[in-house]
């Protein structure tokens, strides 16, 4: 039997998809490890912690897709989950980002912690067939104004509502090169820039303290969200002191300063609605600044 060029492409695509599915099943889906909080506190950190909401049910009921007729808040504590599937476009895997952004003032962290990977995957099957899922962390957003759009409907995962807010493409080369993504998940790939496709617009006002990473090549990334689940008792007021705790790679620096002009970071049609994000050693999140 003589295969046409079209048939050959179909065969290659099916082989590539099957290979990635098998690889992900063997290498990624066992990733059940959760980051253990560090006992190291930043300098001058307060000793009191946030009040934890009561635990919520995590039944594996079918995912419910809901409208966005809820109070909109784009700052506060945001929780995220990631769902990955083989992707020819990514020449690897496409990780879809689901976020509680816009659903309430703060994500219910107790409900979020009670979500299991199995229940997340089962409930996402109504809209996606992920090869694996990863649970992110609860992050406190830092910008003064967050004009990020939420173009997709909310879905229910347990007692929380999430919306798809973007995706990250990870090539098969990156997966093999960076073993952390196979062991601890996407947010464990410290100091590795990933391209995020999302509609964002973050604004910091004049005089605002900001914190950023500077890469060896001079690229700058401003912190837009921090978590307390690695360095306990971190607050917005202590972020200037966490530099020595971040285990920075050679050539990377951490710096804090006051803005002398408004800082705006946005994606639009000119940059294909894409930017780079980075996680530091404490799983805080940064977005690339324009040079």
Q: How many residues does the chain have?
A: 291
Tens digits of residue pLDDT in 168-213: 988 888 777 765 554 445 555 789 898 999 999 999 999 999 999 9
Compute how many other C-beta atoms are within 10 angstroms of the C-beta atom of residue 34: 13
Tens digits of residue pLDDT in 42-85: 654 433 333 333 344 444 444 444 434 334 456 689 999 999 88
List C-alpha distances in Å: 133 to 85, 148, 164, 209, 268.
9, 24, 14, 35, 28
Task: Identify the pLDDT of residue 273.
Answer: 92
Return the percentage of the chain with pLDDT > 90, whole number: 51
Task: Identify the pLDDT of residue 107.
Answer: 92
Task: Identify the pLDDT of residue 43.
Answer: 52
pTM for this predicted structure: 0.76
Tokens of 144: 């003064």
Sorted by where each begins, the domain ranges of the chain are: 8-32+61-288
Closest C-alpha to 103, from 144, 71, 58: 71
Type and span of the H or E element at 7: helix 5-27
- The percent of the chain in helix, strand and coil, each rounded to the nearest 5, is 20, 30, 45
108: number of CA atoms within 13 Å, CB side? 17
């Amino acid at each position: 039997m003589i295969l046409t060029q079209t048939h050959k492409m179909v065969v290659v695509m099916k082989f590539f998809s099957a290979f990635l599915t098998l690889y992900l099943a063997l290498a990624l889906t066992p990733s059940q490890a959760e980051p253990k909080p560090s006992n190291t506190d930043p300098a001058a950190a307060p000793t009191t912690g946030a009040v934890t909401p009561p635990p919520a049910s995590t039944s594996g009921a079918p995912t419910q897709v809901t409208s966005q007729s809820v109070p909109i808040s784009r700052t506060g504590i945001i929780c995220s989950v990631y769902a990955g599937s083989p992707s020819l476009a990514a020449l690897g895997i496409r990780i879809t980002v689901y976020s509680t952004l816009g659903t309430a003032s703060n994500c219910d962290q107790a409900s979020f912690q009670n979500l299991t990977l199995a229940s997340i995957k089962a409930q996402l099957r109504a809209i996606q067939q992920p090869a694996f899922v990863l649970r992110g962390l609860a992050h406190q957003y830092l910008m003064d104004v967050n004009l990020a759009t939420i173009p997709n409907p909310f879905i229910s995962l347990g007692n929380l509502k999430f919306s798809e807010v973007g995706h990250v493409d990870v090539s098969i080369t990156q997966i093999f090169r960076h073993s952390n993504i196979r062991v601890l998940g996407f947010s464990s790939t410290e100091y590795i820039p990933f391209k995020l496709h999302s509609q964002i617009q973050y604004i910091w006002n004049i005089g605002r303290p900001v914190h950023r990473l500077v890469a060896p090549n001079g690229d700058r990334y401003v912190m837009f969200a921090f978590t307390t689940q690695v360095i306990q008792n971190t607050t917005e007021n202590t972020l200037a002191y966490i530099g020595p705790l971040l285990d920075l790679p050679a050539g990377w620096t951490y710096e804090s300063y006051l803005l002398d002009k408004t800082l705006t970071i946005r994606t639009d049609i000119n940059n294909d609605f894409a930017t780079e994000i980075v996680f530091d050693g404490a799983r805080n999140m940064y977005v690339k600044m324009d040079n």
